Amino acid sequence: MKITYYGHASLGIEVNEVHILVDPFISANEKASEIDINTLKADYILLTHAHQDHILDVEAIAKRTNAMIVSNFEIASHFEAMGFEVHPMNHGGSWDFEFGNVKYVNAIHTSSFPDGSYGGQPGGFVIEGERKNIYIAGDTALTMDMKLIPMFVKLDLAILPIGDNFTMGIDDAIIASDFIQCDKIMGYHYDTFGYIEIDHEEAKRKFFDKNKDLMLLEIGENIEL
- Binding footprint of Ni ion on the chain (CB under 5 A): 51, 139
Residue 114 CB, nearest distance to Mn ion (Å)?
12
The residue among 12 and 161 lying less far from Ni ion, judged by its C-beta, is 161
Give the one entry of Ni ion, Mn ion, none that residue 14 binds, where binding means its C-beta sits below a cut-off of 5 to 8 angstroms depending on kind. none
Binders of Mn ion among residues 130 to 169 (CB under 5 A) are 139
CB 10, min distance to Ni ion, A: 13
Comparing CB distances to Mn ion, the nearer of 33 and 165 is 165
Could you write out the three-class secondary structure of the chain? CEEEECCCCCEEEEECCEEEEECCCCCCCHHHCCCCCCCCCCCEEECCCCCHHHHCCHHHHHHHHCCEEEEEHHHHHHHHHCCCCEEEECCCCEEEECCEEEEEEECCCCCECCCCCECCCCEEEEEEECCEEEEECCCCCCCHHHHHHHHHCCCCEEEEECECCCCCEHHHHHHHHHHCCCCEEEEECCCCCHHHCCCHHHHHHHHHHCCCEEECCCCCCEEEC
- Taking the least distance from each CB to Mn ion, the nearer of 51 and 153 is 51
**Minimum distance from residue 48 beta carbon to Ni ion (Å):** 8
To Ni ion, the closest distance from the beta carbon of 164 in angstroms equals 13
From 53, 74, 164, 191, residue interacting with Mn ion (rule: CB under 5 A): 53
Contact residues for Mn ion (CB under 5 A)?
Answer: 53, 139
